[in-house]
């Protein structure tokens, strides 16, 4: 306890005694034991009250030893089965955990990873992908303080995520890769990436871009064959060598019939080639017989125009044509949807066409919109007031039910430049997003759907939507969520069909089972999302006789089922809402592609690069003693004795309050009993 605190306690005693003396003894004719008892009770009350104000404390020190963390990170992908056995890795892990010297220096932790990372004590080579970068980054966030040593058991072959060879972790963390498998580089020729559009149009030619790569030292020649649904459509001879070790083939193929087409690319095997799994690869394309043409009409230049065009055309079913408002009306007649960007008086002919044709359209307003013209030319909405430009933040309407929004979110989105004014909607409407101004959510639409007389219209009261697409890329490293949202909007506006209360969202073709997921959105009779329904899916294999019925799980604003355990093949499915006897059906295909079988040699070079960038060394599975000695002898991982100061109150305030209450009650009772005032 500090000397100043002791001094304050002494002063509190003196002050309490002085006050009691003047209250009960100074010039007081009443003497006797009763007076002394009352004085003692008053002293207890005053002293305890002063102690509450002083709140005396003392500090105790706890000494403890802080050890470094030794993190055993094991690759659980299926490619490890070809490199080692579960028993070999288990024995190595057990030996490290049983080492007394290591336990004196480290707190041991074990993690396994594949697609994701988790704490586990078991070795299971059952993961369909390897994401080393994600595993290391996750550990870097979990183990922030203290010294950390990561021992990575892997073959170094990554199939997901960013390049782990360039990852730099915290300065207090070292990475020591243990190379598992054969590091010998065998001669190999393989099919690399296949780039193909998601959709093609009937009677049109679509491109197939294929890369072929070679690993070896001598010149080789092989034949590349491209087949669609088992029929050969192209064959070409390629010549590769140690210096020219890759080539790209570009082929145009005509879409001759509607439906899902499986594209298979094969390259002939080399003499004595060990790895045949990467000599062929499949993908798929859907051939359709219709396409949506979208007209983007603008009289100004703006970044929004390019962003909207790229977003809409990310789906090959749609094409965007940029038109001036003075374009001939015959050009508008060919369009399935029209987007009006910041209309002015030059748009008069466009609005005349819309009124006569009854076409669906989108209006986007902003700082260069002619509001006097716009309020007078159409009868869907009007904006009055100051019409001052203002930065407006979006707030998503979670009750929006015209079409599914999936996992689209506007959290953290930058503001749009909108118009501050009174917005009057003159048609039936449903708001996608509300306005938020200076932290206050307004009951005004920012993005709204208007629907009346079978004419669908969308209005965005703000410009700079390109910032939203850029923000999605910043968050996700791709534009998919924004482009999917725009795609759903285009589908709704370009279709005149009555909306369904059960909407499905799924891919027609999955590269492998780990990506197979089906989403569904269910709405009640008022077209409000219903999160209390029971949805189930019935899946039947077309070729393999597979059959299963499973529930769909609620995930926020949609239902989802994970089908990652299905075998490659074609499947039909039906999603049913049990309470409403409502169902929708579809079909999909899972391709037979295993990314873990594409490489058979351990990637020693990349693992060494990782070790060099993170203060570590590369080791081999059969030389475990070197790893143990390195960890035990390293000065970086010496245990550190630390102290912790525990500040504790000398007396619990509850005890002091209790004493004050008891002393006051006792004093009052004694004085009352003896007839004292």
The domain segmentation of the chain, as residue ranges, is 3-56+650-673, 65-184+606-640, 188-287, 292-494, 502-595
Number of Cβ within a 10 Å radius of residue 68: 23
What's the pLDDT score for residue 1?
61
Confidence of residue 624 (pLDDT cuts 50, 70, 90): confident
Selecting from 1.10.1520.10, 3.40.50.300, 3.40.50.410, 3.30.470.20, what CATH number does the domain 65-184+606-640 have?
3.40.50.410
Same fold, 188-287 and 502-595: yes
What's the pLDDT score for residue 499?
59
The CATH code that applies to domain 292-494 is: 3.40.50.880
Q: What are residue 320's DSSP bridge partners?
A: 294
Confidence of residue 497 (pLDDT cuts 50, 70, 90): low
Q: Calculate helix-pair angle for 33-54, 653-673, nearest 10 degrees.
A: 160
State the fold for domain 502-595.
Immunoglobulin-like (2.60.40)
What's the pLDDT score for residue 513?
80
Asked whether the predicted pLDDT for residue 479 surpasses 80, the reply is: yes
Which of 81, 209, 90 lies closest to 157, judged by CA? Answer: 81
pLDDT over 90, % of the chain: 38
Write out pLDDT tens, residues 533-548: 999 999 999 888 889 9
Write out pLDDT tens, residues 282-335: 888 888 776 788 999 999 999 999 999 999 988 877 889 999 999 988 888 888
What's the pLDDT score for residue 4?
79
Expressed in percent and rounded to 5, the helix, strand and coil fractions of the chain are 30, 35, 35
Asked whether the predicted pLDDT for residue 385 surpasses 80, the reply is: no
Domain 188-287 has CATH 2.60.40.1930: yes
Write out pLDDT tens, residues 116-172: 899 988 888 888 889 999 999 999 999 988 889 999 999 988 888 889 988 999 988
Write out pLDDT tens, residues 227-260: 999 899 999 999 999 999 999 999 999 988 888 8
Asked whether the predicted pLDDT for residue 264 surpasses 60, the reply is: yes
Structure-model confidence comparison of residues 583 and 671, the more confident one: 583
Report the predicted TM-score, pTM, of the whole model to 2 decimal places.
Answer: 0.57
CB distance 550 to 510 below 8 Å: no
Question: What mean pLDDT is predicted for residues 379-387?
Answer: 84
CB distance 37 to 59 below 8 Å: no
CB distance 127 to 115 below 8 Å: yes
What's the pLDDT score for residue 361?
93
Which of 96, 69, 152, 150 lies closest to 629, judged by CA? Answer: 96
Write out pLDDT tens, residues 68-109: 999 999 999 888 888 888 888 888 899 999 989 899 889 999
Write out pLDDT tens, residues 447-466: 999 987 778 999 999 999 99
Cα torsion 178, 184, 190, 196 to 10°: value is 20
Asked whether the predicted pLDDT for residue 471 surpasses 90, the reply is: yes
């Amino acid at each position: 306890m500090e000397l100043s605190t002791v001094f304050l306690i002494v002063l509190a005693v003196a002050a309490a005694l002085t006050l009691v003396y003047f209250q009960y003894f100074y010039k007081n004719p009443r003497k006797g034991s009763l007076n002394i008892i009352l004085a003692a009770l008053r002293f207890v009350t005053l002293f305890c009250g002063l102690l509450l104000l002083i709140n005396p404390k003392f500090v105790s020190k706890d000494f403890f030893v802080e050890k470094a963390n030794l993190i055993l990170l094991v690759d659980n992908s299926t490619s490890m089965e070809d490199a080692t056995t579960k028993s070999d890795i288990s024995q190595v892990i057990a030996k490290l955990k049983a080492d007394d010297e290591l336990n004196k220096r480290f707190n041991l932790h074990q993690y396994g990873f594949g697609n994701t990372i988790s704490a586990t004590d078991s070795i299971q080579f059952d993961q369909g992908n390897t994401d080393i970068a994600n595993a290391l980054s996750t550990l870097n966030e979990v183990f922030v303080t203290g010294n950390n040593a990561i021992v990575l058991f892997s073959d170094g072959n990554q199939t997901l995520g960013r390049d782990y060879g360039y990852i730099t972790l915290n300065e207090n963390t070292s990475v020591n890769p243990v190379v598992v498998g054969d590091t010998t580089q065998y001669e190999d020729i393989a099919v690399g990436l296949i780039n193909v559009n998601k959709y093609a149009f009937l009677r049109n030619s679509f491109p197939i871009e294929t890369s072929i790569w070679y690993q070896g030292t001598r010149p080789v020649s092989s034949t590349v064959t491209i087949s669609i649904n088992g029929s050969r459509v192209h064959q070409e001879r390629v010549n590769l060598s140690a210096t020219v070790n890759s080539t790209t083939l570009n082929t145009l193929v005509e879409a001759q019939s509607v439906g899902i087409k499986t594209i298979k690319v094969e390259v002939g095997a080399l003499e004595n080639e060990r790895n045949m799994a990467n000599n062929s690869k499949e993908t798929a394309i859907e051939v359709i017989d219709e396409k949506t043409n979208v007209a983007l009409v603008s009289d100004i230049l703006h970044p929004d125009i390019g962003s909207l065009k790229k977003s809409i055309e990310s789906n090959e079913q749609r094409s965007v044509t940029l038109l001036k408002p003075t374009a001939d009306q015959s050009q508008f007649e060919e369009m399935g949807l029209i987007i009006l960007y910041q209309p002015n008086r030059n748009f008069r002919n466009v609005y005349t066409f819309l009124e006569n044709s009854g076409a669906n359209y989108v209006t986007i307003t902003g700082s260069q919109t002619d509001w006097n013209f716009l309020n007078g030319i159409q009868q869907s909405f009007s904006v009055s007031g100051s019409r001052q430009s203002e930065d407006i933040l979006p707030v998503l309407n979670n009750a929006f039910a015209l079409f599914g929004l999936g996992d689209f979110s506007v959290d953290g989105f930058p503001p749009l430049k909108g118009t501050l004014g009174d917005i009057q909607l003159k048609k039936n409407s449903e708001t996608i997003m509300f306005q938020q101004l200076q932290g206050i959510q307004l009951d005004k639409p920012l993005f709204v759907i208007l629907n009346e007389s079978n004419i669908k219209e969308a209005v965005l009261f703000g410009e700079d939507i390109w910032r939203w697409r850029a923000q999605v890329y910043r968050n996700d490293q791709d534009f998919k969520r924004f482009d999917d949202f725009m795609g759903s909007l285009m589908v709704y506006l370009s279709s005149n069909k009555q909306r369904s209360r059960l909407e499905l969202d799924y891919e027609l073709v999955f590269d492998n089972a780990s990506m197979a997921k089906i989403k569904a959105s269910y709405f009640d009779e008022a077209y409000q999302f219903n999160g209390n329904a029971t949805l189930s899916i019935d899946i039947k294999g077309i070729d393999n006789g597979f059959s299963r019925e499973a529930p769909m799980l609620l995930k926020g604003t949609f239902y989802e089922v994970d089908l990652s355990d299905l075998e490659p093949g074609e499947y039909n499915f039906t999603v049913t809402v049990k309470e409403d006897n409502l169902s929708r059906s579809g079909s999909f295909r899972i391709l037979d592609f295993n990314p873990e079988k594409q490489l058979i040699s351990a990637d020693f070079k990349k693992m060494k690069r990782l070790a060099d960038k993170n203060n570590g060394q590369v080791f081999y599975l059969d030389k475990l003693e070197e790893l143990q000695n390195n960890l035990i002898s390293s000065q970086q991982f010496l245990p550190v004795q630390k102290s912790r100061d525990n500040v504790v109150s000398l007396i619990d305030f509850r005890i002091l309050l209790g004493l004050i209450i008891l002393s006051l009650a006792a004093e009052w009772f004694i004085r009352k009993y003896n007839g004292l005032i």
